[in-house]
């Protein structure tokens, strides 16, 4: 049972790291003059937007963030992924 838990935690950590990398790549691509119809941008958007959308729905209800030029919900989602990844990697698994 411990081995299964260890494999699960390892897989989830790798998956979350890949999601964080996709989020960072999407943030960098937003600053570049890249066409939004490119395959790379569409892929990153399709992978990351389902994660950002619930957080954006929460932050859209807060008027202070409505006029912000920075997409706060995107950065909060990235922080949440990092925290979850850190919590998973901190779970002790004894053999």
Digit-by-digit pLDDT tens for the chain (95 residues) are: 788 888 888 899 999 999 999 999 998 988 888 777 888 889 999 999 999 999 999 988 888 777 778 888 999 999 999 999 999 888 877 65
Q: Is 54 inside a domain boundary?
A: yes
Close Cβ partners of 16 (under 8 Å, ≥ 6 residues apart): 81, 84, 85, 88
Q: What is the spatial distance between Cα 8 and Cα 75, in angstroms, rounded to a whole number? A: 26
Q: Which domain holds residue 11?
A: 2-89
Q: Is 94 inside a domain boundary?
A: no
Close Cβ partners of 78 (under 8 Å, ≥ 6 residues apart): 20, 23, 24, 27
Q: Is 23 inside a domain boundary?
A: yes
* Count of domains forming the chain: 1
Torsions phi, psi of 73, nearest 5?
A: -60, -35
Q: Is 6 inside a domain boundary?
A: yes
Q: Is 95 inside a domain boundary?
A: no
């Amino acid at each position: 049972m411990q081995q299964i838990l260890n494999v699960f935690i390892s897989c989830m950590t790798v998956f979350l790291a890949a999601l964080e990398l996709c989020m960072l790549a999407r943030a960098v691509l937003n600053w570049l003059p890249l066409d939004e119809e490119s395959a790379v941008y569409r892929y990153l958007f399709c992978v990351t937007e389902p994660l950002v959308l619930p957080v954006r729905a929460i932050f859209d209800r807060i008027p202070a963030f409505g006029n912000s030029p920075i997409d706060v919900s995107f950065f909060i989602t990235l922080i949440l992924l990092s925290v979850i990844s850190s919590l998973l990697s901190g779970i002790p698994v004894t053999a």
